[in-house]
Amino acid sequence: MSTTYNFCAGPAMLPPAVMEKAQAELLDWNDQGVSVMELSHRSKEFIALADQSEADLRELMAIPDDYHVLFMHGGGRGQFAAVVNNFLGNNGRALYLVDGSWSSAAVDEAKKLAGESQIDTLNIVEKADGVSRVVIPSLRAIDKDYRYVHYCPNETVDGIEIFDDIDSPWPLVADMSSNIMSREIDVSRYGLIYAGAQKNIGPSGLSIVIVKDELLKLPQLPQASIMDYRVGVKYDSMFNTPPTFAWYLAAEVFKWLKADGGVAAMAKTNSEKAALLYSYIDGSSLFENRVAPENRSKMNVTFYLKDESLNDAFLTESKAAGLVALKGHRSVGGMRASIYNAMPLAGVKALVNFMQSFEAKHSG
């Protein structure tokens, strides 16, 4: 069978080694005679898996001891709501930095739950000559008080990533759904990090929450217990039945990352993949990227054909070449190659080779 490279933004490809192990263990996990999907989440075997997965994630991200790690339901959108309900009681206010589609969606959810008066927004993307650039003003110059500042460091739809640390006098809440563990970060700079699993962690249905203990002392809004971080801490993420198969696969991805050199090694490969693809796009007469170089995502490379009449041909021919899910998000059009941790360098090389051939065929 010919090799297929999946550039889907999410659910995204998983490491082949992890998928092969899951396939081999599907009917009999850990010599239990049953699938991990059929095993009680309260069994000693699954509890051991859960404990090890947390330990591995803590090691991979160097998570300090005063942070809790939760494995929760709801994906990223679920956390849009959970963040508001967990931290904005008693008329608290929050500041949302907007740099793309997902941070805008978080704003919409926050305003729906807390009301317009409790949510301030700050657009941090400037566009000039068709190019988007992130510009973050001094937050310390703002004469207000906030419970937290929310932002999305990697916007999958827009292909924008923020690499600089944000200097905030208030706790930072970051939606890292699409770039968690793609490069090293200092977790202690954040009050809370959350991530839907379906990009760099595992299948959809699971979300990771890393929350500093002191934030759990903030007053809450009324909410469902299943999305209450304090309940999650109290019950070790098992207030009810968690998405056990997704948790199992996440645990295997953590093992794979550790065996492959950890986050530092992954960051090096990710930089190489992104540099290769952007370098070709920048030198092309057919393709273009519309994000300033310093803000180009290393996870979601967006690009456009200057002759848009070739879009359908590009997608048809790329799929025939074993390069799938390259269509850009419906809201922005164009193309998008999502090159998360599981995407090997060989996949990006195959894409560049195809783009070169396509350009030679259709230019002139």
Q: How far apart are the first and last CA of the chain?
A: 34
21 catalytically annotated: no
CA distances from 321 to 82, 269, 273, 287 (A): 42, 24, 19, 18
User: Pairing relation of β-strands 172-175 and 192-196?
Assistant: parallel
For the chain, state the CA radius of gyration: 21
Pick the catalytic residue: 102, 228, 273, 327? 102
186 catalytically annotated: no
The SS3 call for residue 80 is helix
Pick the catalytic residue: 56, 99, 199, 298? 199
Tell me if 96 sits within 8 A of 148, measured CB to CB.
no
Query: What does the alpha-carbon distance between residue 150 and residue 103 come to, in Å, rounded to a whole number?
Result: 8
H or E stretch covering 71: strand 67-72
Contacts of 173 (CB under 8 A, 6+ apart): 83, 87, 148, 149, 150, 151, 190, 191, 192, 193, 194
Q: Could you tell me which of 49, 78, 32, 61 has the C-alpha nearest to residue 229?
A: 78
Contacts of 93 (CB under 8 A, 6+ apart): 118, 119, 120, 144, 145, 146, 147
Query: What does the alpha-carbon distance between residue 51 and residue 78 come to, in Å, rounded to a whole number?
Result: 23
175 catalytically annotated: yes
CA angle 87, 77, 219 (to 5 degrees): 10
Which parts of the chain fold into alpha helices (H)? 16-25, 44-61, 75-87, 101-114, 229-234, 244-259, 262-283, 311-320, 345-362
Q: Could you tell me which of 135, 81, 75, 144 has the C-alpha nearest to residue 113?
A: 81
Pick the catalytic residue: 175, 212, 273, 298? 175
Q: Which amino acid is at 76?
A: G
Catalytic residues: 102, 175, 199
